[in-house]
Amino acid sequence: MNEAPAKILYCRCAFAQTVPEASKNAVLEGLCESGASFESVADLCEMSARKDPRLAGIVSDGGPVRIAACYPRAVKWLLHHAGCPLPEDGRVEILNMRDTPPETVVEELLRDTPSPAA
């Protein structure tokens, strides 16, 4: 049985330099070189402040989601603030680009994703 591939969301944190530049560039490069579809946003905080309905579209369709952003506690409650609380069933994973080496973030994001050549 084929499981639906995880949705991938990458936050650029474009309005601040809180995520190290090298880290977020390396993660984006990893995603761009992969064979995966992914959604990337300029700034999750900014979308949360505007309660952007696109966020609900990303997390609420029942499939697995992997988010590359910052501290999981912050991301969880940013999404709550945006009106789309994360499900408690563990299907949403948050990867912290502030603290985690970028290669680990990329590896986790692309787990089970076919390679570009496949």
Partner 1 sequence: MKQELHPVQVVLYEGLGAEPWEGGRRLAVTASLLDQGYSVLRITPAAAETEGLRTTDGHPLIVLGSFTGPKPEIVDDGGHLRVATRDTAGLEADDILHLVATARDELGADLNRPGQPGAWKPWFPVIDYDRCTNCMQCLSFCLFDVYGVDADKRIQVQNNDNCKTNCPACSRVCPEVAIMFPKYVSGPINGEEVKQEDVARESMKIDISSLLGGDIYSSLRNRSEKAKSRFSKERSPDKALDERKRCLVQLQQSGIIPAEVLAELDLSSLPSPEAIQRKARELTALREAR
- Interacting residues toward partner 1 by CB under 8 A: 5, 12-16, 18, 25, 28-29, 31-33, 35-43, 45-54, 57, 70-75, 77-78, 80-81, 98
CB of 32 to partner 1, least distance (A): 4
Q: How far is the CB of 101 from partner 1 (least distance, A)?
A: 17
Structure token pair of residue 2: 């084929």
Smaller CB separation from partner 1, 57 or 101: 57
Q: Min. distance of Cβ 66 from partner 1 in angstroms?
A: 15
- Which lies closer to partner 1 via its Cβ, residue 73 or residue 101? 73
CA-CA distance, 89 to 12, in Å (whole number)? 26
Our CB check for partner 1 shows the closer of 55 and 91 to be 55
Q: Min. distance of Cβ 93 from partner 1 in angstroms?
A: 16
Report the distance separating Cα 40 and Cα 28, nearest Å. Answer: 9
- The CA distances from residue 32 to 8, 27, 39, 102, in Å, are 12, 9, 11, 14
In the sheet with 92-96, reading across from the earlier edge strand, the strands are: 7-11, 65-69, 92-96
Counting Cα atoms < 13 Å in the Cβ hemisphere of 77 gives 3
